[in-house]
Amino acid sequence: MYTKSVIIPRHLVKGDLIGIAAPASSFDVAEFDKGASVLESMGFRLIIPDGIYRRRGYLAGSDVERAELLNELFKNRQVKAIICARGGFGSTRLLQYLDYKAIRENPKIFVGFSDITAILSALYIKCRLVTYHGPMITTLGQADRMTRESLMSVLLSDSKFELKPKNCFVIQSGVAAGPVVGGNLSILCSLMGTPAQPDYNGRILFLEERSEAPYRIDRMLIHMRQAGCIERLAGLILGSFEGCGQYDEVMEIVADIIRDFDFPVMAGFEAGHGRTNLAFPMGLEAILDTEERALSFLKDFLE
C-alpha cells in the first residue's frame, strides 16, 4: 500500500495554533482579515507573521523571504497547522529554498490550492507528507457553509474521510484505487520535467482550473498526455473549471483526450476556484467508485 510510506499529520483540537503563510502572491488585507476572523470563530488561535504583508511586485516578498517564513512556521513546535493566505503566482519560485529536512521532522497540516499546488506536490515528493487541497485565508471570508465545514472536518477529524459530490457525473465508469495527486492544471503542467513533478503512475489525478479558455485546457491536457502523465493513471476526478467556458464543453474536451484509456473518470467535484471548495487530503490512498459516486480515503488521518 502506498500509505505505508507517507506521513499523515495529526489532527487539531480547538484552541490549537494555526500559522498563516504567504508563499505566493500578495493579498487584499480586508479579504485576509475576514478569512482570519472565520478561522478564529472556529475556535483556533492564529500566528500571523509580520512578514506576510511584504510586497515585491506581485509577490508577497522575495523568494527567500517567503520560503523562510514557511520554513519557520514548520519549525515552530507550537504551530499545529499552516494555511496559506493566497495563491496567485510564485510558489514554484521558492521550492528550491524550502527546508525539506525540517519539514519532514515537523510534519503538520498544510492547506492551500491553486498556485499552492506546486508546494503540495513538492512536500509529498520530498517529504512524503500528506497535504490538504482546500480553501485559503483570503477565500474563507466568502466561502459557503459546505466549504467551511469541510475545512473543519480536515482540521479536527481523525476518522476516515469521504467525498460524495452532489452534482457529480460519470464520464467513464469503474472503480480505482491509488493515492490522490494533482491540483491546478496549469501549475501541474509547469512542474513537468522538474523535481516537483508528481508520479502519476497508479494515482488518482484531481484537476481544477480557473480563467483558461477551452482551447488552452485542451492544449494543457494534450501536453500531459504526450508527456506520459495520463496513460497509466488509476483514475481521474475533475473539480471546478471556473471561468473556463461552459463546463460541459470542457468535460467534452477531457472525454475526447482520455477516450483511449479505461480508467474511471468522474466530474463535478466541488473543489477548486468555485464558491464551494471542499477540503480533502492529497497523497493519501483512496478509492474512486463511479457507481457509488464517491471518493473514499482508506486510512484514518491520525496514525
Ranges for all domains in the chain classified under CATH 3.40.50.10740: 2-156
Instruction: Write out the three cell numbers for 240.
Output: 471546478
Give the neighbor-by-neighbor strand order of the sheet with 235-242. 162-163, 294-297, 285-289, 175-184, 204-210, 235-242, 265-267, 169-172
pTM for the whole structure: 0.95
Q: Calculate ∠ Cα 126-91-21, nearest 5°.
A: 90
Fold of 2-156: Rossmann fold (3.40.50)
The active-site residue out of 26, 190, 240, 273 is: 273
CATH class of the domain comprising 162-297: alpha beta
Region 13-35 average pLDDT:
97
Catalytic (active site) residue 62: no
pLDDT tens-digit series, residues 89-100:
999 999 999 999
Compute the mean pLDDT over every residue in the chain, rounded to the nearest whole number: 95
Catalytic (active site) residue 296: no
Beta strand pairing status for 265-267 and 235-242?
parallel
Catalytic (active site) residue 11: no
The active-site residue out of 31, 68, 208, 270 is: 208
pLDDT confidence bin for 302, thresholds 50/70/90: very low
pLDDT of residue 303: 42
- CB–CB of 281/131 below 8 Å? yes
Beta strand pairing status for 204-210 and 235-242?
parallel
The active-site residue out of 26, 91, 114, 240 is: 114
